[in-house]
Structure 1
Amino acid sequence: MNKVTKYKWKKVLVLGLAKSGVVAASLLHELGAFVTVNDYKPFEENPDAQGLLEQGIKVICGSHPVELLDEGFELIVKNPGIPYTNPIIRRAQELGLPIITEVELAYEITESDIIGITGTNGKTTTTTLIYEMMDKGNKNPLIAGNIGTVASEVAQNATTEDTMVVELSSFQLMGISAFRPHIAIITNLYEAHLDYHSSWGEYIQAKMNITSNQSEEDFLIVNADQDELMSLAKQSIAQIIPFSTKQYVEDGACLMNGSIYFRKEKIINVDEIVLPGVHNLENILAAVAAAKLKGVNNDAIQQVLTTFPGVKHRTQYVAEIQGRRFYNDSKATNILAATSALKAFNDPIILLAGGLDRGNEFDALIPVLKGVRALVLFGETAPKIEKVGKSVGIEKIIHVDNVEEAVPVAYEISEPGDIILLSPACASWDQYKTFEVRGDIFIHAVHKLEESN
């Protein structure tokens, strides 16, 4: 770990805990800063805050009082989930205080190269694929960020022999200053998180921050099938490495004659790849580009792509029962993600969908419901999804109370060769704490059904 001295004796406010705040506070304390932690959760219900207090770190819990800023802080390290509309953050901006997220700390202390992955969709799958390819190729990857361990925790043990593979959200990227990945990836850009970002422009700028400090020695891997993204990429001075499922790209990754190529070199035939879906081909191309730039051999890449079944809760293959294949796509918390999943299959689909009603309609699903043979619906949005299902002529539409009930019902109405797909197109919070809980319940129900057949 690079023992940076810039934080010694500096007064730093860590705003918001969770995993990233705890690691950031402990790290800054170790680096000699005078750290104050402020978290909304009351102290008596806050084991993280209690643990930091035991380390000798000042802790203030229960609210975010603006008056805290009267203590003369020189820096704020903000939990990414806290919006910039928070009164403390607004006041800090008025005062001109620097506001960063912990990924900035990770960059400052790490001895390793960084591959940073962002984008609206596909970040987790792309990050995981890169890690797996580098791991199989003996390139010493360390996975970090949104996908797993906090980046500034992984960075503390990273050496010059390692490469940190870091999934990055727009929330994190808004809080960087010097952060510079050697390889940056932007998988795609779609309208998202506008409840957090003040505008589409702010969201785009947050994503583009991933390349803002790159040099001519660095690489920016971008989706060549998005004209706006390719135009934005011209802002970067890094070497642009495009990937495309629709066109030939000479200095990048693309599909050609049923195979994946990187810089004119054939890597693998598409029909050998286990992971389903056009959207996953985009993720695979981005991952192949990064892996090849890091010197991973084709054998390692092929080994991953012929065995990797998908990230948990993201079009994840679960089981086959009597000719029916079950897929868990609980991470599809919006229409766009569900659309990608539905496009991934050519066989008839029994779709399990529904969840939190955010006020939107589901007409955007109509073009991809053509291959859906039946709907099994649950949650607050079940009536809305039934409406669009009927509009495209789906005759079998069944309402159930929850995901656990949906699995045996879907199996009962299915036929051999069908895909039974959980892709809710909605957040889970009307019934489940997280999409992970929803997906785990689906998996458990499938395995229970498997045991009875």
Structure 2
Amino acid sequence: MKNKEYFKDKTVLVLGLAVSGYNAALLLDRLGAEVIVNDFKDLNDNKEAQNLKNKGIEVISGGHPLDILDRPLDFIVKNPGIPYSNPLVKQALHKKIKIITEVELAYLISESPIIAITGTNGKTTTTMMIETLLNENRSKGRAYAVGNIGTPASLVAQESSEIDDLVMEVSSFQLMGVEKFHPSIAVITNIYSAHLDYHKTRDEYVNAKMTITENQTDSDCIVFNRDQEELTDLVTSTSEAMLVPFSRKKELKSGAYIKDEMIVFNGEDVMPTEKVLIPGEHNLENALAAVAVAKLKGMDNRDIQSAFEHFNGVKHRMQLVDTVSGRRFYNDSKATNSLATIHALEGFTDPVILVAGGLDRKESLDDLIPLLKEHVKAIVTFGETKQQMAEVARKADIETIIVADTVPEATRQAFETSENGDVILLSPACASWDQYGNFEERGNDFIQTVTEIDQSVKGGLST
């Protein structure tokens, strides 16, 4: 680890426990800081909080008392989900107490080069693609996917070395809390409007995203989506790093692009686009960004292609689960709104049997109609919106409409009505909270059902 002495004898408030806060507290304690942890929830029965107390770390829970700030704090490590409008955070800013997020902490101690990925859509898939590519046929060290993807960056940064790579997904929330954060390669997949409930204005959101390149120099690289004019203008006007564009729509003088169904980098054919197994034009964009990073890291084309040949997607995000009797099952449980389902449907040319439904947010789903008309041969609905989704399918003139109650029932019904060559796609267009704690639980239920269908088919064949 670098900068071990930087934290010694500092007084640090870790605001918000969660996974990243817990690991940040342990790290700071290990480095000799005096650590205080504060969480709005009552942590009296929380195992992690008890473990921190056992180590002598003070834990204050059940609210955010402002008198914590009366202590001589050197800085605050804030959970990115806590908004800057929080009274304690506002008071800390007024007192000019430095506020950082866990990714800044990870950067300060990391010996490993950092490849940082941000964007409105595609961050997680691109991060996992890059990790997969950089670990293909690797002889020294390894690449670790960390950050907003789920594994705390500071946890891995404690043990990784200069021969490793930290492939770090970073959100706008996290980037608002960085000061020295300096990735050797930054990736911006795209920028749309998002999280305006947190950021209040689009300008604040965009500025947070662009912080990813703020400390880069001309020895660093920024990989960006050339098909977005706004993003191109932002990058070219603000970044000092070497510009590495990617484009799905046009041939470029340099960077990654598609020509004659080939992914090309700096004029060199890298691999056929058909080697990208997860469907969707947006995933071709993610692949272009990942290929650009792999080439910047010196990877061989054969290794890049080999890595893509076994990359089946990120769990719950257009994940190819299995092929059973010629039917391909895709888990896109992360599609919690109609726009995400539209993007999913756009990725298929084969007939789709759509499994959709979930929490009723009292919102119209009629924007699905054009894509249902074009791509969907049958639909099986479930959850609170099952009847609403069925009505949308009727408006789209879908002939086969089946109403089920649960994901397992809907998945089995979809298989029973399917034919060889069909795609069975779980892309709910609704949140999961009517029947599940989160979209991961819903996706896992789908995966388990597909496994059971496969076992049943194989059992039938063997008798």
Indicate the TM-score class for this superposition, using the shorter chain for normalisation.
over 0.9
CA distance in 2, matches of 1:285, 1:84: 35
**Structure 2 residue matching 1:43: 3-state secondary structure:** coil
**Structure 1 residue matching 2:4: 3-state secondary structure:** coil
Please report how far the alpha carbon of residue 416 of structure 1 lies from its aligned counterpart in structure 2 after TM superposition: 2.2
1:443 and 1:107, CA in 2 relative to 1: closer, same or farther beyond 3 A?
same
Per-residue Cα deviation, 1:332-359 (whole angstroms, up to 9, x for no partner): 1222322221111101111111222334
CA distance in 1, matches of 2:194, 2:404: 30
How many residues are matched?
453
Partner of 2:211: 209
Equivalences for residues 18-417 of structure 1 within 5 A: 18-138=18-138, 140-234=142-236, 235-369=238-372, 370-417=374-421
In the alignment, structure 1 segments of 5+ residues that lack a partner are: none
Does structure 2 retain, via aligned residues, the 8 Å contact 1:275–1:305?
A: no
- Shifted more, 36-45 versus 237-246: the winner is 36-45
Identity, % of aligned positions:
53
1:383 and 1:232, CA in 2 relative to 1: closer, same or farther beyond 3 A?
farther
Does structure 1 retain, via aligned residues, the 8 Å contact 2:15–2:21?
A: yes
Read off the aligned partner of 1:221 and give its amino acid letter: V
Does structure 2 retain, via aligned residues, the 8 Å contact 1:354–1:379?
A: yes
Per-residue Cα deviation, 1:58-95 (whole angstroms, up to 9, x for no partner): 11112222222122323111111222222211221222
Please report how far the alpha carbon of residue 4 of structure 1 lies from its aligned counterpart in structure 2 after TM superposition: 3.4
CA distance in 2, matches of 1:46, 1:63: 15
CA distance in 2, matches of 1:418, 1:87: 53
Does structure 2 retain, via aligned residues, the 8 Å contact 1:354–1:385?
A: yes
**Structure 1 residue matching 2:315: 3-state secondary structure:** coil
Please report how far the alpha carbon of residue 101 of structure 1 lies from its aligned counterpart in structure 2 after TM superposition: 0.5
Please report how far the alpha carbon of residue 436 of structure 1 lies from its aligned counterpart in structure 2 after TM superposition: 1.0
Does structure 2 retain, via aligned residues, the 8 Å contact 1:319–1:326?
A: yes
Taking only aligned residues, the RMSD between alpha carbons, in angstroms, comes to 1.6
Does structure 2 retain, via aligned residues, the 8 Å contact 1:117–1:186?
A: yes
Does structure 1 retain, via aligned residues, the 8 Å contact 2:223–2:292?
A: yes
Read off the aligned partner of 2:402 and give its amino acid letter: I
Does structure 2 retain, via aligned residues, the 8 Å contact 1:351–1:422?
A: yes
Please report how far the alpha carbon of residue 433 of structure 1 lies from its aligned counterpart in structure 2 after TM superposition: 0.9
Read off the aligned partner of 2:14 and give its amino acid letter: V
1:211 and 1:384, CA in 2 relative to 1: closer, same or farther beyond 3 A?
farther
Does structure 1 retain, via aligned residues, the 8 Å contact 2:276–2:287?
A: no
Please report how far the alpha carbon of residue 117 of structure 1 lies from its aligned counterpart in structure 2 after TM superposition: 0.7
Read off the aligned partner of 1:421 and give its amino acid letter: L
Please report how far the alpha carbon of residue 386 of structure 1 lies from its aligned counterpart in structure 2 after TM superposition: 3.0
**Structure 1 residue matching 2:117: 3-state secondary structure:** strand
Partner of 2:428: 424
**Structure 1 residue matching 2:232: 3-state secondary structure:** helix
Partner of 2:461: none
The equivalent position to 1:440 in structure 2, one of 427, 439, 444, is 444
Q: Structure 1 length as normaliser, TM-score?
A: 0.96
CA distance in 1, matches of 2:346, 2:400: 20
Read off the aligned partner of 1:340 and give its amino acid letter: H
Please report how far the alpha carbon of residue 287 of structure 1 lies from its aligned counterpart in structure 2 after TM superposition: 0.3
CA distance in 2, matches of 1:362, 1:85: 33
**Structure 2 residue matching 1:188: 3-state secondary structure:** coil
- Shifted more, 192-201 versus 235-244: the winner is 192-201
**Structure 2 residue matching 1:225: 3-state secondary structure:** coil
**Structure 2 residue matching 1:368: 3-state secondary structure:** helix
Please report how far the alpha carbon of residue 137 of structure 1 lies from its aligned counterpart in structure 2 after TM superposition: 4.0
Please report how far the alpha carbon of residue 237 of structure 1 lies from its aligned counterpart in structure 2 after TM superposition: 1.3
CA distance in 2, matches of 1:45, 1:427: 29
Does structure 1 retain, via aligned residues, the 8 Å contact 2:276–2:284?
A: no
Does structure 2 retain, via aligned residues, the 8 Å contact 1:113–1:164?
A: yes
Does structure 2 retain, via aligned residues, the 8 Å contact 1:137–1:296?
A: no
CA distance in 1, matches of 2:415, 2:337: 24
In the alignment, structure 2 segments of 5+ residues that lack a partner are: 458-463
- Shifted more, 280-289 versus 161-170: the winner is 161-170
CA distance in 1, matches of 2:34, 2:9: 6
Does structure 2 retain, via aligned residues, the 8 Å contact 1:4–1:108?
A: no
Please report how far the alpha carbon of residue 46 of structure 1 lies from its aligned counterpart in structure 2 after TM superposition: 1.1
Per-residue Cα deviation, 1:17-49 (whole angstroms, up to 9, x for no partner): 111101111111222222110123323221111
CA distance in 2, matches of 1:193, 1:266: 38
**Structure 2 residue matching 1:432: 3-state secondary structure:** coil
- Shifted more, 341-350 versus 30-39: the winner is 30-39
Q: Structure 2 length as normaliser, TM-score?
A: 0.94
